[in-house]
Structure 1
Amino acid sequence: MAAPKPQAVVVGGSIAGLSCAHALISAGWRVTVFEKSASPPDGSPTGAGLGLDPQSLRLLSQWISDPHLLQDVTFPLSIDLNRLTDSGTKASRTLTRDEDFDFRAAHWADLHSILLRTLPPDTVLWGHQFLSFEVSDGRSSVVTNARVLRTDEIIGIASDLVVAADGCLSSIRRRLFPDSKLSSLTVKVSDSMIEMMHEEADKIWVPELARVMKATKEPFINIIYDSDPLPKLFRDNVVLVGDAAHPTTPHGLRSTNMSIQDAAALGCCLEKWGWENLSSALEEYQSIRLPVISKQVLHARKLGRIKQGLALNCGSTFDPTTARQEECLQLQQRNMPYFEGVPITSDITLPSKQIGS
């Protein structure tokens, strides 16, 4: 008789959580995903846009049974362009242009839909709000508790591993690392600044877009979460992935890519070591991912400060009107650490190859 498969509970059914479900199932694990939303997202495939790097695309195509599905919902993002436009004269000039960018763009809802429908049925438990977890005395198992929102029932599932994919505001991260500080930037401007924006919109943008901007009640509210890199990515039988592990600003196009690569590395390590050596698998996952995500989080933060004209650690600011060409190159995504590809296990690095190329 075949030995029973190890069980994992993934907390969070966004792209990070679904990617982990795919990676762990591929590694021979049984997976249950808790997601507090009542049902999968539906409707128009709008919302957040994603930039997927070649390595993430390759990983996704390994999990999705028909890689053409991924090809159909993405389109080339082959140029990384930064331009400066004068609001008065409308004159513009190119600061940097990288024509070998080799990413593909997708809507969040499209990618989520593909990941979801290529999982085994009933992998995701919708309307299940995570409450708590308790690791057994011998660390042989962990019980995850959730509230079924439809009935208000409390249920618990015992598993060998809990994967925290519960996002920037992760309650699991707060429990494991209570000293970790999450910072947020909330921008809300004065009425006079909004009036000035409306005047500029008429000069710069097409009339249709200017009308939308004027009709938006609070056009400048934007919350960006960021956090210093964590000292560890797991404790006992609980491991962090995605934004739960590395809240990061959006300036480096890394959040989704980091989540997909977290999932792939975790799955490879679990398959390599087997559930009997779970601690060794999680140690290797941490040793692979922590150097990568630490550098990428800090670089995304730096890139955001450059683009917003804020002071860097050296005290200087980036002025696009006077910047030299070599200074403008700081704006390119290509300068992101590990841009060409990251290690997925300790002894191999997957080559960067775009699907459909």
Structure 2
Amino acid sequence: MEQETDDSPRGSGDSGEEPRNGATKLRVIVIGGSVAGLACAHALLKTGVCRVMVIEKARALSGNNTGAGLGIDAAACEAMEDWGLRDELHLNSKPLDYEENRAVDPERKVSVKLARDENFRHWAVHWGQLHRILRESLPPGIVHFNHEAISFEDSEDGKTMLVKVVEGGSNNNLHAVKEVWGDLIVAADGSVSRTRQFYVPGDKRRYSGYCAWRGVYDYSDNPEIRESIQKVYGDIGHCLYFDIARGSHAVLYELPGQRLNWLWYVNQPEPHLEGDSVTIPQPGKEEVAKLHKEADRTWGPELAELIRVTPDPFINAIYDKNPLKQLVFSRVVLVGDAAHPTTPHGLRSTNMAIMDAHVLGKAVGKWGSRNLDSALTEYQMKRLSATSQQALFSRHLGRLKQGMLFEPQGSFPWSTCDEGMVEGLLQRNMSYYQWRCYVD
């Protein structure tokens, strides 16, 4: 077995200088190299008191075609600015100034505006672009792809942890195992986090009752599609649209690079998935044909045509988990989807991950390397209530727009509702949500 011969992770690039107060820098091992893990690397390196190593089991998580679209909120933009990345983010995103919810009559193929937020202040970006921005702006030697953390254990004094890492996947021979010591382990290993499973055994994900068809359409060779969309979605390019039909809703917004991003949520039994995946990347031809047929029945001709011409649509099964009672376990801290897997309706997953990283970095910078326990206590205190509320509001919003709160499902007459009722469709109501009584 190959072992690390020093006490610091190899490749944990930083300036090499020690903190001015003479304290030794914290050795931080981040498990997971997606957006949450890379954001944590930025936030912790900025403190000046951390050496950081990011471990990601995938061979790569790069490329502009990886993933789909997402919306970055104002608070997350401020965090990116703190890390010196706001200009790069804005160069690779489009403003989402407004949020608009509409009711769609599938028989007459007309829509009625229900509620609109004129101060939405989000930015639309492709997941692959955001990941590239975070990855390429880190110092060399921070991120180690094709490495997997297979186990970790506390030291006798409980102040450090031994992490065993295998290169090339956990099925490799034992000679590929490395042992790395860390003062802090940041678990950013996603919604099926093995780290979370270790500390919260039996913690199961909750199927929402619906899946999302998703697609990104490049209209650069077919601008007529975009022109058609703009006729009925007049603020496309500046607005996040939600169309609500009977027991279903769709999402539409524009991404940089002449791309339209759409989602369509469909109530259905939980699908059979392979392993821990939540994605069916290549649905069969019959399923896609059924999608196109149902789109013609449900949506206006412009959105239905966009769905029809989009190549390679894929399916996400929508899951979340009930909030935890703690995010810190000794010297292990959960962040991002490892801490609070959420449904996507509040645009929270990426934004919560970025804010987790920002708050963690600020706490560690404030307390310094000698007071890590105080920093982790502050992180948990600031993030636990906020993320619990946001995740449960997102769950509620999905149920509301999918018609699951009414009998029969989808029967609520949104087009005839008063302003007070339709106001509840907007994401800005998240901070007023009475979340503590809504855990199932």
Q: TM-score, normalising length from structure 1? A: 0.85
Corresponding residue of 1:351: none
Match of 1:161 in 2: 184
Residue aligning to 2:158: 139
Query: Is the Cα–Cα contact under 8 Å of residues 310 and 317 in structure 1 kept in the other structure?
Result: no
Q: Does 1:295 align with 2:389?
A: yes
Match for 1:82 among 91, 101, 108? 101
Instruction: Quote the residue 1:96 is aligned against.
Output: 115
Q: Deviations over 1:254-304 (max 9, x none)?
A: 111111111111111111122222222111111111110111111111111
- 1:109 counterpart (106, 128, 135): 128
Q: Secondary structure at the match of 1:337?
A: helix
Change (3 A) 1:19 1:321: same
Matched residues in 2 for 1:50 and 1:166: separation?
19
Alignment of 1:1-357 (within 5 A): 2-28=22-48, 29-42=50-63, 44-45=64-65, 47-64=67-84, 67-149=86-168, 152=173, 153-185=176-208, 187=211, 194=291, 196-197=293-294, 199-200=296-297, 204-205=301-302, 208-209=305-306, 211-212=308-309, 221-311=315-405, 318-337=412-431
Post-superposition offset of 1:3: 4.2
More displaced 10-residue stretch of structure 1: 270-279 or 190-199: 190-199
Q: Which amino acid aligns with 2:294?
A: M
Deviation at 1:212, TM superposition (A): 3.6
1:136/1:318 CA distance change after superposition, 3 Å: farther
Q: 1:210, CA displacement in angstroms?
A: 5.2
Gap change, CA 1:201 and 1:227, over 3 Å in 2: closer
User: In the superposition, relative to structure 1, how do residues 212 and 37 fare at CA in structure 2: closer, same or farther (>3 Å)?
Assistant: same
Structure 2: 5+ residue stretches without partners: 1-17, 212-267, 270-285, 434-440
Structure 1 stretches of 5 or more lacking a match? 340-357
TM-score computed with the length of structure 2 as normaliser? 0.70
- Give the residue type in structure 1 aligned to 2:203: S
Cα shift at 1:221: 3.9
RMSD between superposed Cα atoms in Å:
2.7
What is the CA–CA distance in structure 1 between the aligned matches of 2:428 and 2:328, rounded to whole Å? 30
Instruction: Tell me the alpha carbon deviations over residues 229-259 of structure 1, each in whole angstroms, 9 at most, x when there is no partner.
Output: 1010011110000000000100001111111
Aligned residues: 332
Q: Distance in 2 between matches of 1:262 and 1:202?
A: 37
Q: C-alpha distance in 2, partners of 1:31/1:220?
A: 35
Change (3 A) 1:318 1:16: farther
Cα distance, 1:4 vs structure 2 = 3.2
Any idea what SS the aligned residue of 2:342 has? coil
Query: Percentage identity across aligned positions?
Result: 42
State the Cα distance separating 1:194 from its structure 2 match. 4.8
Q: Which moved more, 1:183-192 or 1:127-136?
A: 183-192
Give 1:180 deviation, angstroms.
2.9
Query: What per-residue deviation string (whole Å, max 9, x for no partner) do you get for residues 305-328 of structure 1?
Result: 11100127xx99854234222111
SS of equivalent to 2:414: coil
CA contact (8 A) 1:163 1:238 kept: yes
Deviation at 1:179, TM superposition (A): 4.2
AA of the residue aligned to 2:168: L
Distance 2:292 2:78 in 1: 46
- Give the aligned residue type for 1:197: E
